[in-house]
Structure 1
Amino acid sequence: MPQPVIRPARPEEYDEVGRVWMESWVSTGLGEASDFLLANLRARIRHEINDGWSLFVADDHGTIAAMLALHVPRLYLDMLFVAPAYQGKSLGRKLLAFTRAKMPQEMYLRCVRENEKAWRWYEREGFVFEKEEIEPSNGFMMKYYRWKRQSAG
C-alpha cells in the first residue's frame, strides 16, 4: 500500500486538520475529545498560519492521515500529529524526513513532558534534550529538544 503524500494543507481542509490534531492528542491519554477542544484547535490553526506556520498534511487518497506544522524561519517543528489509525506505520518518520529537508541544518521542538511516547521517539530520532519549562497558555511542562545535522569528519 503506498504511503500517504505530504503536501501543503488547503484552507478548506483546516477543520479536518483540527479533527486529526484532536484525535491524535486524545490518543496520548493527555486530553479528552470535546467540541470545545476541537473549536479551539480549529481556531488556532488559522491564527498560527497568520503568524507564519507552514501547514502540511499527509494525504492518503483524500483522507488526512497526519498534520505537520513548521515555522521554518524560526527553525521550529511546532506540531507533528498522526491520526490514530495511521500510528505505528512509519508515517511520523516520513514527516520528520520531510521536515529535515525543509530545515536541513538545525531545528527545535517542544513536547509535553507526560507524552513520553513522543519525546522518547524524538530522542531515538537524534533530538537532544535542552530544558524543561512550563507553557503558560496551558500549564503543561514542556521538554525542549534540538536537532543539528552532524558534520562529516
Structure 2
Amino acid sequence: MSHLVIRPASADEYDEIARVWMESWVSTGLAEASNFLLANLRARIRREIEDGWSLFVADDGGTIAAMLALHLPKLYLDQLFVAPSHQGQSFGRQLLAFTRTQMPDEMYLRCVRENEKAWRWYEREGFVFEKEEVATATGFMMKCYRWKRQRAAG
C-alpha cells in the first residue's frame, strides 16, 4: 500500500491538478475530455485561489492522486476529485478526514445531482441533504449538503 501525503498545492502543480480534476470529472460520465475543458479548469484554479480557495493535493509517491479545494471562511468543501487511476483506494475518505481537521465542527458542499456515486458516498459519510439549486456557472442541478460534528451526549 502506498503512503499518501496530503499537502498544500504549489503553483507549478496547477496544470497537473487541472488534468487530474478533468480526468476524474470525465470518469463520472457527465463530461467529455477536451482541451477546452482542461483550459477552463486551469483558469478556474487560479481564479478560485484568488477568491479564497485553499488547494491541497494527495501526493502518492510524487504523483498527484487527488485534489481537494476548500473555502475555509465559508466552511465549504468545494472540490474533491480522485484521479481514476487512484480510485477505490480510500483516498477520498482520507481527504475527507483531512477536511474535517480543517473544518472540525461543520461544513457544506454541493454535488451534481446526476453524480449519484458521489452524493451517495457523502451521505454514507454523514452529510445531510438540505436542498437542490441550479449552479449558475454550469447549469447543473446541485444537491446541497451539510455535515455537522455530533456532540457527545452528557
Instruction: Quickly name the TM-score band, shorter chain normalised.
Output: over 0.9
Query: Aligned letter for 2:101?
Result: A
Distance in 1 between residues matched to 2:65 and 2:152, nearest whole Å: 35
1:152 has 2:140 as partner: no
| Shift of residue 68, structure 1, vs aligned partner | 0.1
The alignment-based identity, stated in percent, is 79
| TM-score, normalization by structure 1 | 0.99
For 1:30-68, what per-residue CA distance to the aligned partner results, in whole angstroms no more than 9, with x for missing partners?
000000000000000000000000000001111100000
| TM-score, normalization by structure 2 | 0.98
User: What is the aligned partner in structure 2 of residue 13 from structure 1?
Assistant: 13
User: What is the aligned partner in structure 2 of residue 52 from structure 1?
Assistant: 52
Distance in 1 between residues matched to 2:41 and 2:126, nearest whole Å: 29
DSSP-derived class of the 2:144 partner: strand
Cα contact 2:54–2:69 (8 A) shared by 1: yes
Distance in 2 between residues matched to 1:135 and 1:3, nearest whole Å: 36
For 1:61-107, what per-residue CA distance to the aligned partner results, in whole angstroms no more than 9, with x for missing partners?
11100000000010000000000011111000000000000000000
Where does structure 1 lack aligned partners over 5 or more consecutive residues? none
Aligned length: 153
User: What is the aligned partner in structure 2 of residue 76 from structure 1?
Assistant: 76
Counting only pairs closer than 5 Å after superposition, residues 14-29 of structure 1 correspond to structure 2 as 14-29=14-29
Structure 1 segments of 4+ aligned residues over 6 angstroms from their partners? none
Counting only pairs closer than 5 Å after superposition, residues 87-126 of structure 1 correspond to structure 2 as 87-126=87-126
Distance in 2 between residues matched to 1:37 and 1:13, nearest whole Å: 17
DSSP-derived class of the 2:133 partner: strand
Distance in 2 between residues matched to 1:151 and 1:60, nearest whole Å: 34
> Could you say what the CA RMSD is over the residues aligned between the two structures, in angstroms?
0.5
User: What is the aligned partner in structure 2 of residue 67 from structure 1?
Assistant: 67
